[in-house]
């Protein structure tokens, strides 16, 4: 059975990462398979989280996990540590006495509860008093209803989380309404597209990225380019001497580091670090998402025996517009990238665009669209999930 696992960030009012929601589905359905506590170790939950580790996949942050009514009644959340997890009660759960009793037991054992896709109804009152967080679909709920709901929920002493916040305008609107947490891809969209010029340092960094990726591989010349930026030099040497490479003798020069990584390895690493500098004033999750995408697509490129460095740049630059608050046309158009890359990133079409759709669908947990692209590309869900989990671990290790 293929198992798909993805995570979505949840932010606080300061746009700092608060938690991740973990999305996992079997390849055959959009729900949990029928499991109980005795068989969990050999089914979806075990293969996804007991093997990988809930703390590892959540990068040490609190994780939100959806549970159906049956799983709540069986006490399945107790398979996970209470200090690492928010138990999400799905919207179709019947808030009857059995569920209230099961949730009270979880609460007594130290678990925190959240109500998912919540629409206010008096029958949920007992669960509201037990819940720490109430999640509301920001796009499906009318603005006037949102205001009323916020006021009504104040008496229950729970925090409010706005789901599907896709633009900065929606984020600021949700803040004004009184929401405490925010989930959606607003952080990966440009905040301002008009009357904003790139700073000289940003322009310099873009030129440096372009030059490194178009220069012939000359370790000496590239070392001189890299040495122009002290922070990049430091990160390069720190990375090359990390446990990731298990070196017996540390490398002490840029020249040695570049030679050790090789042409593709160095260019990818440099592009990653330089791109992260472009988004220093942005939520940290933006660059982390870009790194995950880059590593994820790089592995797919290797699997398909394609140019993996091109796939790496494809993933890395998918949110370059959000990093610079510029249209992607203006940013990518001025970079010496391949026409295939430009076509996929700017025009959203062409041979490489299928891979953009693949990672976008995976991140969103849109498993129907994901399986469609997966089949088109001739890849397996099991392979993709292993690539994604490895990409998460790699990106988290670079913090």
Whether 17 contacts 61, CB under 8 Å: yes
Cβ(198)–Cβ(191) below 8 Å: no
pLDDT digits (tens, 9 = 90+) for 213-258: 766 667 777 777 777 777 777 877 777 777 666 666 777 777 887 7
Going by C-beta distance under 8 Å and a sequence separation of 6 or more, which residues neighbour residue 394?
Answer: 291, 292, 295
Least confident of 162-176, 232-246, 383-397: 232-246
The residue-averaged pLDDT of 155-171 equals 94
For 3-188, give the CATH class: alpha beta
pLDDT given for residue 81 in this prediction = 87
8 Å CB contact between 251 and 240:
yes
Residue 134 DSSP SS3 = strand
Residue 274 has pLDDT above 60, yes or no: yes
Residue 71: the pLDDT is 85
Do residues 196 and 177 lie in contact, with contact meaning Cβ atoms separated by under 8 Å?
A: no
CATH 3.20.20.450 residue window(s) in the chain? 3-188
What pLDDT is attached to residue 217?
A: 66
Q: Which of 153, 154, 143 lies closest to 176, judged by CA?
A: 143
Higher pLDDT, 385 or 25: 385
Tell whether the model's pLDDT for residue 352 goes beyond 90: yes
Task: Name the average pLDDT for the chain.
Answer: 84
């Amino acid at each position: 059975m293929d198992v798909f696992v993805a995570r979505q960030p949840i932010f606080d009012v300061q746009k700092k990462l608060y938690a991740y929601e973990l999305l996992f589905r079997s390849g055959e359905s959009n729900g949990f398979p029928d499991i109980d506590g005795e068989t969990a170790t050999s089914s979806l939950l075990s293969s996804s989280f007991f093997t990988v580790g809930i703390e590892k996949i959540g990068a040490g942050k609190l994780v939100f996990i959806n549970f159906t009514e049956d799983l709540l009644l069986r006490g399945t959340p107790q398979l996970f540590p209470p200090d690492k997890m928010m138990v999400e009660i799905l919207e179709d759960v019947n808030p009857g006495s059995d569920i209230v009793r099961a949730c009270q037991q979880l609460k007594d054992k130290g678990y925190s509860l959240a109500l998912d896709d919540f629409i206010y109804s008096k029958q949920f009152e007992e669960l509201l008093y037990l819940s720490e967080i109430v999640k509301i679909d920001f796009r499906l709920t009318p603005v006037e209803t949102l205001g009323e709901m916020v006021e009504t929920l104040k008496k229950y002493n729970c925090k409010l989380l706005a789901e599907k916040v896709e633009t900065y305008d929606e984020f600021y609107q949700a803040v004004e309404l009184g929401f405490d947490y925010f989930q959606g891809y607003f952080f990966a969209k440009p905040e301002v597209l008009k009357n904003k010029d790139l700073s000289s340092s940003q322009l310099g960094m873009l030129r440096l990225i372009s030059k490194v990726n178009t220069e012939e591989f000359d370790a000496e010349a590239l070392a001189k380019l890299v040495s122009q930026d002290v922070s990049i030099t430091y990160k390069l040497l720190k990375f090359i001497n990390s446990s990731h490479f298990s070196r017996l003798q540390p490398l002490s020069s840029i020249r040695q580091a570049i030679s050790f990584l090789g042409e593709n390895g160095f260019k990818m690493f440099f592009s990653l670090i330089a791109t992260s500098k472009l988004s220093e004033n942005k939520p940290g999750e933006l660059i982390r998402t870009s790194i995950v995408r880059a590593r994820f697509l790089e592995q797919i490129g290797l699997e398909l025996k394609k140019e993996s460095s091109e796939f790496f740049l494809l993933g890395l630059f998918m949110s370059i517009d959000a990093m610079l608050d510029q249209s992607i046309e203006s940013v990518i158009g001025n970079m010496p990238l391949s026409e295939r890359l430009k076509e996929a990133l700017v025009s959203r079409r062409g041979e490489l665009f299928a891979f953009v759709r693949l990672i976008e669908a995976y991140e969103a947990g849109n498993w129907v669209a994901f399986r469609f692209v997966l089949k088109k590309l001739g890849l397996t869900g099991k392979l993709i999930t292993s690539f994604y989990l490895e990409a998460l671990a790699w990106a988290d290790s670079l913090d």
